[in-house]
Structure 1
Amino acid sequence: MDADGALAAKSEQPAGSPQPLRASNTIGRIGTTWAWATSLIRRFPWVAGTIAVAAVAGAVAVTPWGATGEVLLIAYVVMMAGRSAWAMVRELRNGTFGVDVIAVTAIVAAVLVGEVWAALVIVLMLTTGQALEEYAAHRAQRDLSLLLARNPQTAHLVQPDGTMRDVDVSAVVPGEHVLVRANEVVPVDGALVDEAGLFDESSLTGESLPVEKIAGDAVLSGSINGSDAVVLEATRAAKDSQYQQIVALVESAAASKAPIVRLADRFALPFALAAYGIAGLAWWLSGDPARFAEVLVVATPCPLIIAAPVAFMAGMSRAARDGIIIRSSATLEKLHRVRAIAFDKTGTLTRGEPALVGVHGHGGIGSDTLLQLVASVESNSTHTLARAAVRGASERGIALDESDDATEVAGSGMVARVSGHVVAVGKRTYIAQLTGRETERASLLRGEMAVYAAIDGAFAGVLVFRDEVRPNAAATLAGLRRHGVASMTMLTGDDRATAEHVAEAVGIEDVHANCLPIDKVEFISRSITHPIAMVGDGINDAPVLAAADIGIAMGARGATAASEAADIVILPDDIARVAHAVTIGRSTVDIALQAIWIGIGLSVVLMILAAFGLVPAIVGAWLQEAIDVIAILWALRASRSR
């Protein structure tokens, strides 16, 4: 058919006639709905089975074979009671008294007094409660699983001849070059080979803005490359890289079980005795055995079983979204009770890297000129102070010059030719040796260090560095005190003068300086206040983090040993997250206990009403279902950031 014919055929269709596209959309919607329904049935088969039995029994009830429907109901609820009873027996073998015993008793009692439909509602309550728990746990673990979903599996290995070969990420060894394409996840920890690169580290550090790296800078696995492909030199094998360590922490956190569940089970025995007492008393006073069943129907305490673990998983999910990986939900309960915290100094209360705080020229040399020449020389070194000098020049907007003939003297300093001048940078004794004259020692404050410089054989000035206190450290410690953490201690291997300078700045009075790792462990062991938490970041902190009731590692710096030993890893390089973790722990446990008491309180009210015959069994069963939903929704409040 030509174009005119097609247009004519289209114009002959009656107005308002259904179009093939609309029919296709309708079929698509039906297919989507059917797929969704079948998915729910597969995920929650016992809920689907209970609803199906109710539908069949209800349909048969209006036919001459109505008795068959009742038999079907009785057979199904007795089977489900047996299933719950077997699970209860397994719990008893493990030393746990579960509250399912009340539900089983209620189902049997309801059947014996002829309230078969009420028994079915109890079964529906149990199965939907389990389904809600599974759904809530899945929802709460979603944030914890995001890292796992992005786990890189392959790496683009650059061969010596310049060709590229895709290999399993586990096959990459330190020293090999890896190509990371645009927008790909960095597979292993490495150092940037190219001149510059832009990386999204938000999933690791919480920093929302992309981070610019230059050649030689460390790039963490798990960060996302920018719009240009870059080459990295692997510095760690995949199993030792930052991202794999975080994945291991996430898996451990997701698989943990909360002690508060055991606490909830401790409520089970007194609650069951109270329920049986009220039910028996109601039967005895009224002479009606139906009262016994009516009381037990509303005493089925699913909130006691479900709400607490839901709250804990929600709290762990909330922490993960804020860059706080909590390895065990047991830690949340300890955070709820923590009253003492010890802090390492370097990298915890301070930034852990020296910052340039002063440039003092000598012999008429200006500070900007001195910094430009020194930083140009230091750009050839990977030393911590060299990086700080280059970073200081960049922050002041000073461009570096090209340097030639750079030579580094291990442990002393470096010399290079910059803009026609021979510039030397290093220790005071090194500069004195080069100039042939005694160099005057710089006047430094506590916690400061100096680097000396010479230009063309003459002393030229001093650069002063200091490991600065984190700007939010004092406010974080003050916030912890307001939240009930009474004891604050600093444990550091540095000398007392430097330690006291930092302690005074952040508001810590109890200072232990010149500590070896064993000294820190002994302090934690001797502490009379428990639970006690320890916050650190270095490899040397691993023993004390393991010894503390709660070990908290500032993990953004990649200290694998510290992260492995810790109960909590703070991914962003932000000490304020320590206070946030304590807040999450306390609010999560509070919400879990509130959910438990809400379930118990409402159930007791309904039991009393049922004892006086005010709540029929079928109505009580539906009211108990509503209590379950209320308690679970209350528990999910733990996932909200406040």
Structure 2
Amino acid sequence: MTRIPAFALRYPVVSTTIVVGVLGLALVAVDAASMVRWLFSGYGLVVALIEFVGMLRRLRRGSLGIDLLAIIAIVATVLVGEYVATLLIVLMLAGGAALEDFAAGRAARELDALLKRAPQIAHRLDPDSGEATDVAATEVRVGDLLLVRPSEIVPVDGQLHSDSAAFDESSLTGESLPVERAVGDGVLSGSINGQVAATIVATATAANSQYQQIIALVDEASKSKAPVVRLADRYAVPFTVGSLALAGLAWALSGDPVRFAEVLVVATPCPLLLAAPVAFMGGMSRAARNGIIVKGAGVLEALSRARTVVFDKTGTLTYGTPAITEVRPEAGFTADELLTLAASAEQYSSHVLAASVIGAAHERGLTLHTADSASEAATFGVEARFGDGTVRVGKLTFITDEAADATATHLAGGELAMYVAVDGRFAGSIVASDRVRANARQSVADLARLGVRENLMLTGDARATAQHVAGQVGIVHVRADCLPSDKVEAVRALTRRPVIMVGDGVNDAPVLAVADVGIAMGAKGATAASESADAVILLDDISRVVSAVRIGKDTVRVALHSIWLGIMLSVVLMVVAAFGLIPATAGAISQEVVDLVTILNALRAIGGRRDRAAARRAPVSAPPTPAASAAAVAP
């Protein structure tokens, strides 16, 4: 059996209209042209009836679009015998809706993808035998003892049963550095365990855990969004009323009902049907070419009118990964010597920051030593023996046990220090932090120049860290220590709208859904954020937010120019037709010329030349390497 193409199933009226047109050409070829009129006219009336029923349903919901004029135009062309114009109007009507649907990409937010990322399996431990049994996360009950293996997602909220463990909570709280927990501390579902297996006691079921609450917030926020009004619909009522009034006046003054049809033939709403969808399709194509996936035409329109931008901190204004920013040697050591010894010892550590130290050493071309023996005190540090020498790396309390002269180093907001002792002497410290993106400040300033002057940072981080980052990027308003629900309420309370929210983690998913425009920094595959967002930036470059706003403004400007160009040309033709100077056939052809001019003008929204010029002016910012960061501060 022949498979029906997906396009035909999705856009049946467009497909049927094309088939009817081809069938009409076939009838002409076999000398059955008289049947073409009945075929085209009958099909046009059927479509008009379907559209009329749909229009009545929309009217009940308080929505009046451009359907009425299209329906009247179809009926009018049938009455005056311009059946080719009838089919063309049907094609433009159905094609415009299909273009708009395609441009809007109505692949709605798929909560299924968010649900799939939710922890599915839990390892339940038998309290007597200690054997682990895999069960569905939904079967976990409060009080169950669970094993969380290295790098696994915590399935439910719990309390740490192990002596200590480190968890990556960046996607939940925005805290970029690993969070260390001791026995009895709470552990959030959705956080990622470190490099050592841990055991937790479940304190909530999956349905009542943090991750599922975030999913519920996303669902609620998505459903609460107001529907977008199509750009063309704003001009539909006055254009329809004006066209009918002019056609009626021509009929009344001439006494000829054909004059009414002739005016309406050139008044078909094809410029309104096509201008905005084509422009928005071009704008979305331009956005995709710039690494921005826009999920709807309404998103570009909202971007063009945005007045407030809200940023998450970690992974959005910052790079989202801790990097070595400074090496501070003491006691006669050089920066290279200190980094070499620390990295050599960190080879035997399971701590998340160990990789940053080792990476910084490798980037600088340093050769690491192999230890004779090594031991790690979980969450405190590591000690390694190299021949007769001993190196300790870790927390200050871990170092002072070996080197009493060790002192705390000065740290700015968001920084973390690792201390080093060599043979019982304090050798210095290594500072790591989540670096602010190099172009973050410029991006905030560029948004202000585009009219998005109000800005705000929402983060789960501590206030000191948040204020430090905000000061670096030029953001005045800051709210710290935010839970996902706090972010949602903060965005809902903003008055200068539309509001853009930019984030990247699971914790940002609800607020991205509730914002007028949610933009996800999806380069690192933040599924929850990407699925709940209206636009996804595929490159790890915050300046693309500026590009998105600029593309939105350009697209709406081109769409409006095209709409007004089509309306003005149609009005001129209607006035000429009102005096009987344009027969219906010539009117249908002239209207197609208007449509062509409108479409060509709308295609300017693709904007390739502007993008090439902008790309030459603004290269993409790349995150600093650990070595570059360390080298920048090394003596």
TM-score normalised by structure 2 residue count: 0.68
User: Which residue type is aligned with residue 339 of structure 1?
Assistant: R
**Aligned partners of 2:73, 2:504: CA distance in 1, in Å?**
54
CA contact (8 A) 2:96 2:277 kept: no
Rounded Cα–Cα distance in structure 2 between residues aligned with 1:142 and 1:552: 17
Partner SS state of residue 365, structure 1 = coil
Per-residue CA deviation, residues 196-253 of structure 1 (Å, 9 max, x unaligned), is xxxxxxxxxxxxxxxxxxxxxxxxxxxxxxxxxxxxxxxxxxxxxxxxxxxxx9xxx9
SS in 2 for 1:557: coil
- Residues 522 and 272 of structure 1: CA distance in aligned 2, closer, same or farther (over 3 Å): closer
Aligned-partner SS, 1:105: helix
Aligned equivalent of 1:46:
17
- 1:443–1:530 distance in 2 versus 1, CA, 3 Å: same
Give the letter for the 1:82 counterpart. V
- The CA distance in 2 between the partners of 1:521 and 1:76, in whole Å, is 53
Q: Distance in 1 between matches of 2:578 and 2:311?
A: 57
RMSD: 3.6
> Does the 8 Å CA contact 1:140/1:317 hold for their aligned counterparts?
no
Cα deviation, 1:458-480, whole Å, max 9, x if unaligned, reads: 32221122322110001100110
1:193-208 aligned within 5 A: none
1:486-505 equivalences in 2 (<5 Å): 486-505=453-472
- 1:579-611 per-residue CA deviation (whole Å, 9 max, x = no partner) reads 122222233333333333232222111101111
Rounded Cα–Cα distance in structure 1 between residues aligned with 2:519 and 2:334: 45
Q: 2:461, 2:52 → 1: CA distance? A: 57
Select which of 557, 577, 582 maps to 1:610.
577
Within 5 A, what are the aligned runs for 1:16-35?
Answer: none
The alpha carbon displacement at 1:51 in A equals 5.3
Specify whether residues 530 and 430 from structure 1 end up closer, same or farther in structure 2 by C-alpha distance, changes over 3 A only: same
Q: Structure 1 residues 110, 80: CA separation in 2 closer, same or farther (over 3 Å shift)? A: closer
Which of these two proteins has the greater Rg computed from alpha carbons?
1
**SS at the partner of 1:94?**
helix
Q: Which residue of 1 aligns with 2:85?
A: 121
Asked if 1 retains the 8 angstrom alpha-carbon contact of 2:271 and 2:563, the reply is: yes
Q: Distance in 2 between matches of 1:395 and 1:381?
A: 19
Contact 2:381–2:392 (CA under 8 A) maintained in structure 1: yes
- State the partner residue of 1:321: 289
Q: 1:258 to 1:544 in 2, by over 3 A?
A: closer
CA distance in 2, matches of 1:264, 1:417: 74
Of 70, 73, 85, 2:49 maps to 85
Once the two structures are superposed, residues 140-183 of structure 1 have per-residue CA deviations (whole angstroms, 9 ceiling, x without a partner) of 97999xxxxxxxxxxxxxxxxxxxxxxxxxxxxx999xxxxxxx
**Deviation, structure 1 residue 310:** 3.4
- Asked if structure 1 preserves the Cα contact closer than 8 Å seen for 2:270 and 2:595, the reply is yes
The answer as to whether partners of 1:298 and 1:624 remain within 8 angstroms in 2 is yes
Structure 1 373/125 Cα, relative in aligned 2: closer, same or farther at 3 Å? same
What is the CA-CA distance between 1:330 and the residue it aligns to? 3.3
CA distance in 2, matches of 1:318, 1:257: 26
> Could you tell me whether the CA contact under 8 Å between 1:142 and 1:317 is conserved in 2?
no
Q: Provide structure 2 residue ranges, at least 5 long, that are not aligned to the other structure.
A: 1-11, 109-147, 151-217, 612-635
Aligned partner of 2:186 in structure 1 is none
Please tell me whether residue 388 in structure 1 is matched to residue 356 in structure 2: yes
Asked if the contact 2:92–2:270 (Cα under 8 Å) also holds between the matched residues in 1, the reply is: no
- In 1, are the aligned partners of 2:416 and 2:432 still within 8 Å (CA)? yes
Give the AA of the match of 2:24.
V
Give 1:75 shift.
Answer: 5.0
How far apart, in 1, do the equivalents of 2:498 and 2:267 lie?
36
Contact 1:260 1:333 in 2 (8 A): no
| Alignment partner, residue 373 of structure 1 | 341
Residue 134 of structure 2 corresponds to none
- Which amino acid is 2:400 matched to? A
**Offset, 1:371:** 0.6
Deviation at 1:341, TM superposition (A): 1.2
| Structure 1 equivalent of residue 245 of structure 2 | 277
How far apart are the structure 2 equivalents of 1:52 and 1:537? 52
Contact in 2 for aligned 1:258/1:309 (Cα 8 Å)? no
User: How far apart, CA to CA, are the structure 2 residues paired with 1:544 and 1:109?
Assistant: 49
On the 8 A contact 1:307/1:596 being kept in 2, the answer is yes
Question: Out of 481, 489, 512, which is 1:522 matched to?
Answer: 489
The residue identity in structure 2 corresponding to 1:448 is E
> Structure 1 residues 130 and 640 mapped into 2: Cα distance closer, same or farther (>3 Å)?
farther
Q: Contact between 2:307 and 2:499, CA under 8 Å: does it hold in 1?
A: yes
Match of 2:210 in 1: none
- Whether the aligned pair in 1 keeps the contact of 2:373 and 2:386 (CA below 8 Å) is no
Q: 1:47 to 1:541 in 2, by over 3 A?
A: closer
Q: Which amino acid aligns with 2:496?
A: T
Q: CA deviation at 1:529?
A: 1.7
Which of 245, 256, 259 is the equivalent residue of 2:228?
259
AA partner of residue 284 (structure 2): M
Structure with higher RCO (Cα < 8 A, 6+ apart): 2
Aligned-partner residue type, residue 394 of structure 1: H
| 1:345 equivalenced with 2:313 (yes/no) | yes
Q: Distance in 2 between matches of 1:88 and 1:343?
A: 45
SS of 1:434 mapped into structure 2: coil
With over 3 angstroms needed to count, the CA separation of the structure-2 counterparts of 1:620 and 1:381, relative to structure 1, is farther
Name the aligned partner's letter for residue 520 of structure 1. Answer: K
Task: State how far apart, in whole Å, the 2-side matches of 1:119 and 1:271 are.
Answer: 24
Aligned partners of 1:257 and 1:328 also within 8 Å = no
Whole-Å separation in 1 of the counterparts to 2:459 and 2:75: 64
1:532 corresponds to 2:488? no
Taking the aligned partners of 1:520 and 1:42, their CA distance within structure 2 comes to 44
Give the counterpart letter for 1:596 in structure 2: I
Contact kept? 2:375, 2:384, Cα under 8 Å: yes
In structure 2, the CA distance between the partners of 1:440 and 1:79, relative to structure 1 (3 Å rule), is closer
Distance 1:110 1:480, change over 3 A: closer
SS for the counterpart of 1:587 is helix
Contact 2:402/2:424 (<8 A) preserved: yes
**8 Å CA contact 2:40, 2:87 repeated in 1:** no
- For 2:411, the equivalent position in structure 1 comes to 444
Q: Deviations over 1:497-554 (max 9, x none)?
A: 4333322221122233344444433332332222222222233333433443333232
> Shift in Å at residue 629 of structure 1?
2.5
CA distance in 1: counterparts of 2:75 and 2:312, whole angstroms: 60
> CA distance change for structure 1 residues 318 and 479 in 2, over 3 Å: closer, same or farther?
same
2:537 aligns to what? 570
SS at match of 2:523: helix
1:241-300 Cα shifts (integer Å, max 9, x gaps): xxxxxxxx9xxx9xx999343x42343333222212111211222233332221111011
Provide closer, same or farther for how the CA distance between residues 473 and 382 of structure 1 changes in structure 2, counting only shifts above 3 A: farther
User: What secondary structure sits across from 2:582 in the alignment?
Assistant: coil
Which sections of structure 1, spanning at least 5 residues, go unmatched? 1-40, 61-67, 145-173, 177-248
Map of 1:26 onto structure 2: none
Task: Report % sequence identity.
Answer: 48
Which secondary structure state, in structure 2, belongs to the residue aligned with residue 556 of structure 1? coil
> How far apart in 1 are the matches of 2:29 and 2:586?
17
State how far apart, in whole Å, the 1-side matches of 2:486 and 2:97 are. 45
How far 1:139 moved relative to its partner?
9.0
Amino acid at match of 1:87: E
**CA distance in structure 2 between the aligned counterparts of 1:288 and 1:561, rounded to whole angstroms:** 63
1:595 aligns with 2:566: no
Q: In structure 2, what is the Cα distance between the partners aligned to 1:305 and 1:284? A: 29
- The separation in 1 between residues aligned to 2:332 and 2:85, in whole angstroms, is 91
SS in structure 1 of the partner of residue 443 of structure 2: helix
Residues 354 and 384, structure 1, Cα contact 8 Å, conserved in 2: no
Question: In the comparison of the two structures, how many residue pairs are matched?
Answer: 486
* Of 10, 32, 40, the match for 1:76: 40
Amino acid across the alignment from 2:508: D
Contact 1:258/1:312 (8 A) holds in 2: no
Q: What is the CA–CA distance in structure 2 between the aligned matches of 1:73 and 1:365, rounded to whole Å?
A: 94
Q: Which moved more, 1:407-416 or 1:86-95?
A: 86-95
Contact preservation (8 Å) 1:434, 1:457? yes
Alpha-carbon distance change, 532 to 266 in structure 1, aligned in 2, over 3 angstroms? closer
Pick from 369, 384, 391 the counterpart of residue 423 of structure 1: 391
Q: What SS does the corresponding residue of 2:457 show, helix, strand or coil?
A: strand
